[in-house]
């Protein structure tokens, strides 16, 4: 049996950024296996991805994406775009649909405008112009995102919304949890992973019910 994650991962488009968020709990069957699992990965200086599903399958694909991104830049002299990376991932998953990778991804980045895509285990490529979510806590996260998302969110607002969505799943979905919430912000300046201390400020604000 491979290590799998129940998971809640979220992507939110802000005015000048993409925010990716994920819980940190990994499960092995009914066992809570890990409380600090990594579920957001930097692919390039402008692209990052969240994973939900089999960790082994996800990491295999992430290694391939990173290698292809470096090759693309070497051959063409320019970075790969978010759309091209999402299309590549879609093609990989679709080509293996008879023996599928058990993994679902959210890809976010800037090109230079914020861009966000969902890619399912069978290679469905779904552009998102507001937000995306995956994993066992999807319904709980969507309830928050649907009711609170507004176009043109500032970066801080998008981070708070992503935290609120994941936090809702951490409270009610038994496969979502972990020590904290991982947050990665992608802007035209690059990919930044928020520290645990920074994230805790947002969790505290959400828990206290501040607007």
Active site residues: 7
C-alpha–C-alpha distance, residues 67 and 134, integer Å: 25
Query: Distance of CA 46 to CAs 64, 76, 109, 190, Å?
Result: 17, 16, 5, 5
C-alpha–C-alpha distance, residues 17 and 181, integer Å: 19
C-alpha–C-alpha distance, residues 162 and 142, integer Å: 10
C-alpha–C-alpha distance, residues 172 and 137, integer Å: 8
CA angle 141, 22, 142 (to 5 degrees): 10
Query: Distance of CA 63 to CAs 49, 56, 60, Å?
Result: 12, 11, 5
């Amino acid at each position: 049996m491979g290590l799998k994650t129940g998971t809640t991962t979220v992507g939110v488009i802000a005015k000048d950024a993409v925010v990716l968020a994920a819980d940190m709990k990994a499960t092995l069957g009914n066992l809570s296996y890990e409380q600090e699992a990594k579920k957001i990965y930097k692919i390039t200086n402008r692209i990052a991805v969240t994973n939900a599903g089999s960790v082994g399958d996800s990491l295999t694909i992430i290694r391939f994406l990173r290698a292809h991104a470096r090759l693309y830049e070497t051959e063409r002299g320019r970075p790969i775009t978010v759309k091209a990376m999402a299309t590549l991932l879609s093609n990989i998953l679709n080509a293996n649909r008879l023996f599928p990778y058990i993994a679902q991804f959210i890809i976010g980045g800037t090109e230079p405008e914020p861009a966000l895509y969902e890619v399912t285990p069978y290679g469905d490529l779904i552009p998102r112009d507001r937000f995306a979510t995956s994993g066992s806590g999807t319904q709980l996260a969507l309830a928050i995102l649907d009711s609170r998302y507004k176009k043109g969110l500032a970066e801080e607002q998008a981070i708070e919304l992503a935290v609120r969505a994941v936090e809702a799943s951490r409270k009610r979905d038994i496969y979502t949890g972990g020590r904290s919430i991982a947050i990665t912000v992608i802007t035209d300046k690059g990919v930044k992973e928020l520290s645990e201390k920074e994230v805790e400020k947002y969790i505290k604000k959400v828990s206290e019910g501040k607007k």
